[in-house]
């Protein structure tokens, strides 16, 4: 008997209003599930809807349509008072650790704050828990009485991770958590996240534009284009044999230290279409090197065409024409 997924998202949609009754269509029918102890990566160019999805599943933004279930419970339209009781179980780590922490609070106070808000512990117990969290994220306890301006970026991100873990959540959304860090620091944070996942079983939704990072940390990947999933599957499959033309182009732009595996660069024509006036048919057809007239007329569904759990939204997969030569 399979256990209940930590997170289930079905046909999630979000648009933001503009002037003159126009809208930015940010998320357009995204679905996925996330199991306990799993790391799912969301990847795509800027404007693909990654960060919006992260905020929608945590109910930090209102949901226009679709369903979000957390631990089997439908939270799509749950009142804010009821959501407040769930906040201890769902946390987020933001991209910029400098702006994520209150500069007026000490590191100790920043980590202790969610414990004080959500857990019935006295002062001594909270202090012991903060110390244990520092050990878990390998942050020296000598830093606890300092302030954010006195720590490095890598140290601050460890503080943010410790704070996210403070209430023993079942889900953590990580929104570009390493993009503002140096490469050497980034590797340490990724190692830390994998170790914490293995130790605690927390599910992670990892949002990034960096494919190299996802290859190191994600179990599965969803590739987004204009707020729509165009390909999803196990990380190794996505990297070894990308099916959607957009995924192929995205991977060709990613540098690797293994020159034998470096793909010839695929240069896409044109610009990303406007999210205000979404193109008809396949969202990618205007830039796709292998598009056919049918691609302009029909929006492809995300289908498992090979029977291996990989899903691709491309009309050319069935005839092998999806491959960019």
Residues 9-61: tens digit of each pLDDT? 999 999 999 988 899 999 999 999 999 999 999 999 888 999 999 999 999 99
Q: What is the pLDDT of residue 305?
A: 72
Q: What DSSP designation does 230 have?
A: E
Residues 62-83: tens digit of each pLDDT? 999 999 999 999 999 999 999 9
Report the distance separating Cα 24 and Cα 33, nearest Å: 25
Residue 197 in any domain: the answer is no
Residue 256 in any domain: the answer is yes
Q: What is the pLDDT of residue 1?
A: 41
Residue 13 in any domain: the answer is no
Residue 302 in any domain: the answer is yes
Residue 20 in any domain: the answer is no
Q: What is the pLDDT of residue 258?
A: 56
Percent of the chain with pLDDT over 90: 72
Residue 60 in any domain: the answer is no
Residues 269-323: tens digit of each pLDDT? 888 889 999 999 999 999 999 999 999 998 999 988 777 778 999 999 988 889 8
Cβ(129)–Cβ(121) below 8 Å: yes
Mean pLDDT, rounded, of the chain: 91
Distances (CA, A) of 34 to 1, 5, 31, 208: 17, 6, 10, 17
78-94 average pLDDT score: 92
- The total number of structural domains in the chain stands at 1
Q: What is the pLDDT of residue 67?
A: 98
Please give the residue range of the domain that contains residue 240: 234-325
152-180 average pLDDT score: 92
For residue 266, pLDDT beyond 50: yes
Cβ neighbours for 235, distance < 8 A, ≥ 6 positions apart = 41, 214, 215, 218, 219, 220, 221
For residue 263, name the pLDDT band (cuts at 50, 70, 90).
Answer: low
Residues 109-133: tens digit of each pLDDT? 999 999 999 999 999 999 999 999 9
Residue 240 in any domain: the answer is yes
The gap from C-alpha 223 to its chain's centroid, in whole angstroms, comes to 11
Residue 59 in any domain: the answer is no
């Amino acid at each position: 008997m399979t256990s209940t997924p930590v997170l289930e998202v079905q046909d999630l949609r979000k648009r933001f209003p503009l002037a003159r009754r126009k809208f930015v269509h940010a998320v357009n029918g995204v679905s996925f599930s996330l199991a306990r102890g799993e790391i799912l990566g969301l990847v795509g160019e800027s404007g693909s809807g990654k960060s919006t999805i992260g905020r929608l599943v945590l109910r930090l933004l209102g949901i226009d349509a679709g369903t979000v279930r957390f631990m089997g419970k439908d939270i799509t339209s749950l009142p804010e008072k009821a959501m407040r009781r769930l906040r201890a179980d769902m946390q987020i780590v933001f991209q910029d650790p400098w702006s994520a922490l209150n500069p007026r609070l000490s590191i100790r106070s920043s980590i202790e704050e969610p414990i004080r808000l959500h857990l019935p512990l006295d002062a001594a117990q909270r202090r012991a828990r903060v110390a244990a969290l520092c050990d878990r994220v390998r942050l020296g306890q000598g830093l606890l009485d300092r302030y954010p301006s006195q720590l490095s970026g890598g140290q601050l991100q460890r503080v943010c991770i410790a704070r996210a873990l403070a209430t023993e959540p079942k889900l953590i959304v990580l929104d570009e958590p390493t993009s503002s860090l140096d490469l050497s620091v980034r590797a340490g944070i990724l190692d830390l996240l994998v170790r914490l996942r293995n130790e605690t079983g927390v599910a992670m939704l990892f949002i990034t534009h960096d494919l190299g990072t996802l290859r190191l940390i994600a179990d599965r990947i969803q590739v987004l284009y204009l707020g729509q999933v165009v390909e999803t599957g196990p990380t190794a499959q996505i990297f070894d044999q990308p099916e959607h033309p957009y995924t192929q182009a995205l991977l060709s732009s990613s540098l690797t230290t293994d020159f034998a595996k470096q793909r010839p660069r695929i240069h896409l024509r044109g610009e990303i279409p406007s999210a205000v006036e979404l193109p008809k048919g396949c969202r990618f057809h205007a830039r796709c090197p292998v598009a056919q007239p049918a691609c302009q007329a029909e929006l492809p569904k995300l289908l498992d065409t090979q029977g291996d759990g990989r899903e691709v939204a491309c009309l050319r997969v069935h005839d092998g024409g999806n491959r960019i030569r």
